[in-house]
Amino acid sequence: MGVLAASLTIITAFLLLSCPFASSKTPKLKRFSREYDGPFNDTYRKIFAVESSANIINDALQITPEFSINVVSKPQNKFGRVMLRTPFKLWDGQNVGSFNASFLMNIYRPNNDIAGEGIAFVIAPDLSPPGNSHGQYLGLTNSTTDGNSSNQIVAVEFDTFRQDFDHDDNHVGLNINSVNSTKAESLSNHSIEIAPNRTVFYNVWILYNGSNKVIEVYMVEGSKNSSTVKESQNSPTPPMPKTPVLRSELDLAGLINQKSYFGFAASTGNYTELNCVLRWNLTVDHFPGKKSPALTIALGVCVPVLVLGAAVFGYYLHKKRMLARRSNSNILGALSCLPGMPREFQFNELKKATNNFDDRSKLGQGGYGVVYKGVIARENLEVAVKCFSRESIKGEGDFLAELTIINRLRHRHLVRLLGWCHKNGKLLLVYEYMPNGSLDKHLFAGADDEPLSWMFRFKIISGVASALHYLHNEYDQRVVHRDLKASNIMLEGNFNARLGDFGLARALDNEKTSYAEAEGVLGTIGYLAPECFHTGKATQQSDIYAFGAVLMEVVCGRKPGSKIGVYQVLVDWVWSLYREGRVLDAVDERLGEDFVAEEAERILLLGLACSHPIANDRPESQAILQIISGSVPVPHVPPFKPAF
């Protein structure tokens, strides 16, 4: 009893000392992440507040009214907003959260008319625009409120009509409580015209770092082959440019309301334009809501009493549990350090979702464990649950590596992580469910199944290339995937590609160019670059080699390790056909003539270039994107495969 009494004394003292300071800790950031890829319809009105003249029509968010280019009467002096209904607390004291927004927009002026007025991405304290916020006010302010600090509005404007205070009629600006931008940059300096007299879709990225208190805006023209809303929504996102069109210091603390909304605002004036958004991805690291004072006081009184009682009546159980928790310390410690830690699912919730991990729900299996399909009933949410095997010696390390990396990755061609679960030694990751499964299932379907069309094959290739470029160049650390293959490429309902399975992926330190595993080379035979067997190191170039194998696999409809005649592997067979001047004979015969010959030849030659035995002679991801789009030619491919 002496030991117990001493323990209770220490616990009591600890509680009394710690309680006054508990409420002063900075709350951990929570992460909100959603992808609204469209096409948009009225079901999205549950998610978005569609205010004033805005509408959801023709598969897009129309921030100002849609109209036919042939009508005489245009919607002049209109304004509207489309706002996400979810509010966020973006600052707490001097601590500020971060956000990343990316969207595809189209601003179109009919015929040869003058454009007016513009569109803005906005953070606002309320969903509705103020009255009479047409014309120069862009649905943000009006003649009475403009410039007032009580507006608590921050916006990034894309302005198409020059007012007296404007830089020009083609600029991007940072607006704080006013439409008179605190900083503006002409987009003409970046060879961008916001509202040309033709259909142009622009990809925009707005990145805000709450730690550095800096906002950056990036912008690039979308696919030139897209002329309709649906074509543009289905087209792959090009890589984010390296140089922002606007960069500015911005401290949101005290500037905006603690409960603020994200969305879009736009207006027309005496001149008109179409202002529409075709897809929108948003990630916000925000603070949890503030507890009421009464609840804080009640917790401050009750919790110490309950803990003290638990210490008296459950001393033995407490000691026993502490021993059990030590085995989880590495995982829980790592999870607590993750920025914007993803959602934690309850094990029983996932057990119920997968019908007790029924084999009939199994989607796939590998060395890491098993993936099951599940449905979170209360949210009607389809998920893929990845269960790490107990037999996997590195299960815990793979779990943490995958969770740590993919938790921070945000790209429309990467499988999205929804959350995690750790219960009694069981490790699970929860991903967005991909209804069309993995690419290999479609490439190597049964003889009676329709072959994957060329249009979808080319679309998938473009998407994976975009994801690879993001990992290698756009993410804040260089990431090597190390297991790029057809079975790790997942397909959405519309056959957009999503690269998944980051169990072997590793982020490289800035000064490093490779990653070596103590156990030696890891990956899948057929996709492994030859230098990996000698050096044991994974590099961006070895990822490129694997991508080359995927390119030929997609075009040829054959696995990389396929033996064809005297050739032991697919790449050697394709190289021989290229040397003989008949590389198109490698195209999947099930396609017949139903493919674009110029595209197929370009992809096959790119596949050979990526398969070059000398790592430094392989193209980089930026060049790969340009080659696929046809904007630059394929690099020279020698007729004979070079020696390693």
386 is in an annotated binding site: yes
Token representation of residue 200: 């142009």
Flag whether 636 is in a domain: no
Helix (H, G, I), strand (E, B) or coil at 12: helix
Can you give the pLDDT at residue 376? 92
- Is 37 found in the same domain as 19? no
Residue 336: in which H helix or E strand, if any? helix 329-337
Rg of the chain over all Cα atoms, to the nearest angstrom: 28
- Is 464 found in the same domain as 392? no
**Other beta carbons within 10 Å of 576:** 19
Q: What percent of the chain has pLDDT over 90?
A: 54
Residue 534: in which H helix or E strand, if any? helix 530-535
Flag whether 56 is in a domain: yes
465 within 8 A of 629, measured Cβ to Cβ: no
State the total domains in the chain.
Answer: 4
- Is 263 found in the same domain as 158? yes
Q: Which of 432, 466, 486 is the last residue of a domain?
A: 432
Can you give the pLDDT at residue 167? 75
Q: How confident is the model at residue 9 (pLDDT cuts 50, 70, 90)?
A: very low
Q: Which of 432, 461, 493 is the last residue of a domain?
A: 432
Mean pLDDT of the chain: 83
- Is 589 found in the same domain as 536? yes
What's the whole-number mean pLDDT along residues 510-520? 49
Can you give the pLDDT at residue 78? 93
Give CA–CA dist 62/53, Å, rounded.
Answer: 9
Identity of the highest mean pLDDT range in 329-333, 417-421, 603-607: 603-607
Strand residue runs (E) in 465-609: 478-480, 489-491, 497-499, 506-508, 514-516, 537-539
The CATH number of residue 422's host domain is 3.30.200.20
Least confident of 38-47, 62-71, 126-135: 62-71
Identity of the highest mean pLDDT range in 12-26, 68-82, 189-203, 450-464: 450-464
- CA geometry: angle 182, 183, 184, nearest 5 deg: 130
* Residue from 274, 261, 266, 217 nearest 103 by CA: 217
**Entry pTM:** 0.58
Give CA–CA dist 118/121, Å, rounded.
Answer: 11
- Is 392 found in the same domain as 456? no
Flag whether 377 is in a domain: yes
Catalytic residue among 483, 501, 543, 588: 483
Q: How confident is the model at residue 18 (pLDDT cuts 50, 70, 90)?
A: very low
The CATH number of residue 563's host domain is 1.10.510.10
What's the whole-number mean pLDDT along residues 277-300? 73
Q: What is the DSSP string of 350-419?
A: HHHHTTTT-GGGEEEEETTEEEEEEEEGGGTEEEEEEEEPTT-TTHHHHHHHHHHHHTT---TTBPPEEE
Say which residues have a Cβ less than 8 Å from residue 26's Cβ, sequence separation at least 6.
92, 93, 95
Flag whether 325 is in a domain: no
Q: Which residue has the tokens 């439409």?
A: 179
Q: How confident is the model at residue 208 (pLDDT cuts 50, 70, 90)?
A: very high
Can you give the pLDDT at residue 11? 46
Can you give the pLDDT at residue 165? 78
Task: Calculate the alpha carbon distances from 436 to 82, 188, 353 in Å.
Answer: 31, 42, 19
The CATH number of residue 76's host domain is 2.60.120.200
pLDDT in tens, 60-69: 999 999 875 5
Max CA distance (Å), the chain? 93
CA dihedral 126, 212, 405, 358 (to 10 degrees): -20
- CA geometry: angle 531, 536, 539, nearest 5 deg: 65
Flag whether 323 is in a domain: no
Give CA–CA dist 610/465, Å, rounded.
Answer: 12
Q: Which residue has the higher pLDDT, 379 or 610?
A: 610
- Is 453 found in the same domain as 579? yes
CB-neighbour burial class of residue 46 (10 A; exposed 0-12, middle 13-18, buried 19+): exposed
Give CA–CA dist 484/407, Å, rounded.
Answer: 19
Can you give the pLDDT at residue 166? 77
Helix (H, G, I), strand (E, B) or coil at 273: coil
Token representation of residue 277: 């958004």
Q: Which of 409, 432, 455 is the last residue of a domain?
A: 432
Flag whether 322 is in a domain: no
Q: Which residue has the higher pLDDT, 522 or 490?
A: 490
39 within 8 A of 230, measured Cβ to Cβ: yes
Flag whether 599 is in a domain: yes
Q: How confident is the model at residue 422 (pLDDT cuts 50, 70, 90)?
A: confident
Flag whether 378 is in a domain: yes
- Is 132 found in the same domain as 107? yes
- Is 485 found in the same domain as 336? no
Can you give the pLDDT at residue 227? 63
Residue 599: in which H helix or E strand, if any? helix 597-610
Query: What are residue 287's DSSP bridge partners?
Result: 89
166 within 8 A of 138, measured Cβ to Cβ: no
421 within 8 A of 383, measured Cβ to Cβ: no
- Is 307 found in the same domain as 192? no
Question: By residue range, what is the domain housing residue 157?
Answer: 31-286
Residue 159 appears among annotated catalytic residues: no
- Is 444 found in the same domain as 421? no
Give CA–CA dist 388/368, Å, rounded.
Answer: 5
- Is 393 found in the same domain as 354? yes
- Is 491 found in the same domain as 574? yes
CB-neighbour burial class of residue 80 (10 A; exposed 0-12, middle 13-18, buried 19+): buried
Give CA–CA dist 439/127, Å, rounded.
Answer: 41
pLDDT in tens, 460-486: 999 999 999 999 988 777 888 888 999
